[in-house]
Structures are given as structure tokens and as C-alpha cells.
Amino acid sequence: MLMQEPSPDLIRSWKELFETYRPILRPNHQPCKEVIAHLKNHYPVTCITKTWAEEVVIGNVTLNEHYAQKIPPGGSPVPRVYIIQKTGTGESLYENQDERFRGTPIIAGFDLSFGYFMVEGSSRLWDELFVFRGLDQVDIENYYLVAEYITGLQKFGILERVLKNQPDTAANSFSSRL
């Protein structure tokens, strides 16, 4: 999860990761329902049906060119939003929140139409879901997204396993790691 203004050095490192790994990566994007199932299987969650939360997901999709182009023709975003409960396995996410998020709820929002997701309140959860979800054909051509994906695989210690097992998904490697 990008939480800082990117410096020229950081952008350069993203491009280097892209040049190194793009030639060997294959699309492995998981459907959003699988990402939500992963979330529900690992953390206690409650679905939020408040209009404001769903509107944030819709806005994030429709107002971002990269995501808007992925909406199926004639389709529109189909939002789902969950709050992670501060109990059981969710408690560890709250205990390890980044300083900037301390004391705020952790929320995960999804667009079921193509697989967009967002996380507020936990860079750790965003990284986990991003790696689990994988990259689609459009994402795999974006140097920032490839760098985030590779960095996430490294963070969770599954880079070699995922690259070795392509076109197997990171989801399989990641789930067995937790």
C-alpha cells in the first residue's frame, strides 16, 4: 500500500522491479468473490450496507481511469463493504495498525463487477488482499502495480513459490502461508 509521496528513487525502483519480473509474470487475478471469501475465512467481518460506504467504492472505481476501464460494457459497480471486527484474528490487524490509522476502524470495500478492492485502516490487510487477488492482464502492464505485487510476495515470503508455480495463483501459495 502506497502511503507516501513517491520519490524519483522509489519510482526508479518500481520500474526496475517491473523490468525484472514483468517478462515472467502471468495474469493470476482472482474473482472478487474469492478475495471476499479469503477475508471472511481469516478475519471476523460485518457487512456494512450504509450508502456512504458503498458510494466510496463506486466513486473510487468510476473516478479512476485505470479501474473505470475495467467495468464491463453496460455495467456499473456492484459494491460490498465490510468492517473488520476487533476480535479474534482481527485484533492482530488493529494491534499492528500503522500509526496514521491507529484508533480507526478497518474497512474493506469491493466492487463485484471486476475485482476492485480498497482497504482503509490497515496497510497490512491491503497488502494481503492485493497479493491474494493477483494481477489481471491490464494490471500486469502497470509498473507500479507489478512492483507492489512483487514487494508483497517478498513481504509474505512467497515470491519464489509463486513464480515457480505459475500460472498457479498467489492465492494458493498465500493461503497456505497464513
Q: What is the pLDDT of residue 168?
A: 54
Cα separation, 21 vs 68, whole angstroms: 26
pLDDT for 147 equals 97
Q: What is the chain's length?
A: 178
Is 0.75 topped by the overall pTM?
A: yes
Q: Which pLDDT belongs to residue 4? A: 73
Burial class (CB in 10 A: 0-12, 13-18, 19+), 112: middle
Report the chain (178 residues): mean pLDDT per 10 consecutive residues: 82 96 93 94 93 90 87 88 96 94 95 89 96 93 96 93 70 56
Look at residue 71 in the predicted model and tell me its pLDDT.
84
Say what the pLDDT of residue 173 is: 60
